[in-house]
């Protein structure tokens, strides 16, 4: 059942909408996933943020919300299967 829910579904978490590709995407957007990243995620308005391995944009979308129009986010996803979706 969870696999059907996760495939090509849009969910909103903390005011950010994510397009889920699969079960892994669902797990990635969970607030518990990579909880340690909170200590490293210290962006402010106007910053530049580069997300290498952006997957579905968990950090790129959040970063864009923080840096605003004054900043910039560059998100790169090299995995061919993720790019196809």
Asked if 16 and 60 touch (Cβ cutoff 8 Å), the reply is no
Domain boundaries, the chain: 2-84
Distance CA(72)–CA(65), nearest Å, equals 10
Asked if 61 and 36 touch (Cβ cutoff 8 Å), the reply is no
Mean pLDDT of all residues belonging to the chain: 87
* Percentages (nearest 5) of helix, strand, coil residues in the chain: 40, 25, 40
pLDDT one-digit tens code per residue, 20-30:
888 888 888 88
What confidence category does residue 4 fall into, taking pLDDT thresholds of 50, 70 and 90? low
How high is the pLDDT of residue 3?
A: 63
- Both tokens of 45, joined, read 């308005």
Distance CA(9)–CA(14), nearest Å, equals 16
What confidence category does residue 37 fall into, taking pLDDT thresholds of 50, 70 and 90? confident
How high is the pLDDT of residue 9?
A: 85
Residue 6: is its pLDDT beyond 80? no
């Amino acid at each position: 059942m969870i696999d059907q829910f996760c495939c090509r579904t849009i969910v909103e978490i903390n005011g950010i909408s994510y397009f889920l590709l699969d079960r892994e995407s669902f797990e990635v957007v969970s607030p518990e996933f990579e909880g340690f990243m909170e200590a490293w995620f210290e962006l402010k308005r106007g910053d530049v943020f580069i997300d290498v391995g952006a997957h579905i944009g968990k950090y790129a979308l959040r970063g864009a919300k923080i840096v605003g129009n004054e900043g910039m986010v560059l998100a790169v996803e090299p995995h061919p299967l993720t790019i196809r979706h």
